[in-house]
Structure 1
């Protein structure tokens, strides 16, 4: 349990040695293909410590990683970089310990806006990067060939993951264009309001392994419709991640879809 610089308390669980060893082994397997890959993972450990430092003290990071504060300070500043094995251990322990949903909720509440817009919430590039790295760690070991994005708000996160997985981004469109074939569907917002959704047919195929990224799930209608369109392409859905859930209404519609929601806040439709 740590007190972040906003004064709120962050609950972080302590993973078992077995859990850490399993994730570390998966990371080393994923990033052991070349010297460049190994260096990328070592630098990622430095970067993650640097991104966490504004919210956590070196004492907190010591409790998470077991690495002396003086060494953590040099890692976070980039003066030195950890070994390949040490980097895997750092990344595994942080990925298993930190609740990234806490940070998202903290940012949403800090906005104090009547309208929840993740473009505003993720306007800080450091926050977007931290969220992206944490999601990358969660997806380690999975094969992703396409990233379907349901809204522009998550494009900064999707762009980072796209580079790491070498997977093109496919954006769900609200408007069709002549000469392009689409998978399409209609979402009824109200008896008088219908929204059309489109996915380019030529960008998804049966050989694709798809990661779906959504910004906010509210009723679950949009995300459910997007998953149905992907199903028409016969692509395999590897994972479905939504940054924020509003209320509970979406759960009934998406409970069988394997959707992971990073954090939820109370909301009544």
Structure 2
């Protein structure tokens, strides 16, 4: 077997092992419960999960097929996002490395065919997601902040009205992080009104770059979507809660 084919095989085997550990972590499953789901003996699952043994390609197919629906990122978000009094708590998502890895795969699936070389987000909650997106696409990361970094002199600056609480917010990005001709993916954890997104789009335009895609973990309204689609931009909304808002 050629070295390239061997690497592909090992990648598939390691991915299946990661699926086992991901399902075990996210759903709190025991090896006995996983064994019942997969039809694979507990002893083997334990050896796979610990890295003592890699599953055969036939077993890889079984693992992926039977865990596919459980590890669908939209379903995982439904189970882990906490909503209380109109607020969304993403702590169970943004600080879980297994869920972040699922997000990384989602980014690769939806955007890897585009020539994206920059991932742009606004600090701070979008940072874990944008790091995974940057890694998935082999793209550089640009983070717009509400303050100026002391070591940088030249910035893009855009302002918008934030609604909670109502106030004027400015975002700053060092100019060397976003350049003319860049193909940009915007990453956002939660979109409510789309104002932050619009500010990031303005920043991209000011740089002479091109908006290629938008990845949104949770959308709380649909008002911003058509405006983005009018720009001929690829949009991936992983969990749409717009219809659930009161």
Relative to the length of structure 1, the TM-score reads 0.66
Paired residue total: 231
2:74 pairs with 1:107:
no
1:77-100 CA distance string (max 9 Å, x none): 534335679869976997799531
Greater relative CO (CA pairs within 8 A, separation 6+): 1
Q: Which residue of 2 aligns with 1:187?
A: 160
- Give the Cα–Cα distance (whole angstroms) in 2 for the partners of residues 175 and 211 of structure 1: 22
Q: Which residue of 2 aligns with 1:8?
A: none
2:245 pairs with 1:260:
no
- Give the Cα–Cα distance (whole angstroms) in 2 for the partners of residues 173 and 217 of structure 1: 17
- Give the Cα–Cα distance (whole angstroms) in 2 for the partners of residues 205 and 33 of structure 1: 35
- Give the Cα–Cα distance (whole angstroms) in 2 for the partners of residues 99 and 113 of structure 1: 27
Offset, 1:185: 1.7
Q: Which residue, out of 21, 29, 51, partners 2:22?
A: 51
- Give the Cα–Cα distance (whole angstroms) in 1 for the partners of residues 126 and 186 of structure 2: 11
2:101 pairs with 1:125:
no
Judged with a 3 Å threshold, the aligned counterparts in structure 2 of structure 1 residues 262 and 136 are, in CA distance, closer, same or farther, namely same
- Over aligned residue pairs, what C-alpha RMSD do you find? 3.8
- Give the Cα–Cα distance (whole angstroms) in 1 for the partners of residues 9 and 66 of structure 2: 18
Q: Which residue, out of 158, 170, 184, partners 1:196?
A: 170
- Give the Cα–Cα distance (whole angstroms) in 2 for the partners of residues 98 and 126 of structure 1: 10
Judged with a 3 Å threshold, the aligned counterparts in structure 2 of structure 1 residues 99 and 144 are, in CA distance, closer, same or farther, namely same
Q: Is the 8 A contact 1:95 1:137 kept in 2?
A: no
1:6-155 to 2 correspondences below 5 Å: 39-54=10-25, 55=27, 58=34, 62=38, 69-70=40-41, 73=45, 75-82=48-55, 99-109=72-82, 112=84, 114-119=86-91, 121-155=93-127
Judged with a 3 Å threshold, the aligned counterparts in structure 2 of structure 1 residues 205 and 267 are, in CA distance, closer, same or farther, namely same
Judged with a 3 Å threshold, the aligned counterparts in structure 2 of structure 1 residues 251 and 239 are, in CA distance, closer, same or farther, namely closer
Structure 2 regions of 5+ residues with no counterpart?
Answer: none
- Give the Cα–Cα distance (whole angstroms) in 1 for the partners of residues 153 and 60 of structure 2: 45
Q: Which residue of 1 aligns with 2:217?
A: 243
Higher mean C-alpha deviation, range 253-262 or range 224-233: 253-262
Q: Is the 8 A contact 2:212 2:234 kept in 1?
A: no
